[in-house]
Amino acid sequence: MRVQFSTRDVLIRNVGDYDVKIIVGEEGSSKEFLGHTVILRTRCEYFKIALSSTWATSEDGVKVFVKPNIHPLVFEAILGYIYSGELDFTEQDCVPDIYDLLIACDELMLHELADNIQGSFFQFIIRF
C-alpha cells in the first residue's frame, strides 16, 4: 500500500444500496456519510465492532453510527482510503490536518494507513 495523491475510486461516489449512515463531527458542523457495511467491515477492523448492534442503532433497515470526535474532512479522507486503498487530496480544496488524521487513524485502527502517512510526510519534509 502507498499513500497516493490521485483521483478517487468510483466506489466512494457510488452509494446506491447503502446500508449504513455514519454521522461525524460535532453538532453544527457534522456531516452524514453513506456507506456499505460489507466494505467497511472488510477493510477496517474498527467497523467490525462499531457496526454491531451494540454500538450502532438502526433506522428503517439502515445502521446509524455517530462519531462526533472526528472532523468531517478527516473522515472523508479516511472513508476514501477504506473504499479505494488510496489517500487522495488532489480534488479537495481543503486538506485535513495531518495530526487529526493520524489520531483518527489510530482510533479507527487503521495502523497501516497511519504508518504510510507518517512515511510520506517525512519524505515530503526531507525533500525541502
Domain that holds residue 57: 10-127
**pTM confidence score:** 0.81
| Alpha helices, DSSP H, located in the chain | 37-43, 45-50, 72-84, 98-107, 111-127
Number of helices (H), then strands (E), belonging to the chain: the values are 5, 4
Residue 1 resides in a domain: no
What confidence tens digit (pLDDT) does each residue in 45-89 have? 999 999 988 899 999 999 999 999 999 999 999 999 999 888 866
Q: How many CB atoms neighbour CB 105 within 10 A?
A: 24
Residue 74 resides in a domain: yes
Residue 119 resides in a domain: yes
- Residue type at 35 in one-letter notation: G
β-strands 31-35, 20-24 pairing: antiparallel
Give the per-residue pLDDT at 7: 40
User: Cell 467497523 maps to which residue?
Assistant: 47
Q: How many CB atoms neighbour CB 50 within 10 A?
A: 20
Residue 59 resides in a domain: yes
> What CATH number does the domain containing 80 carry?
3.30.710.10
pLDDT band at 13 (very low <50, low <70, confident <90, very high): low
pLDDT at 29 over 90: yes
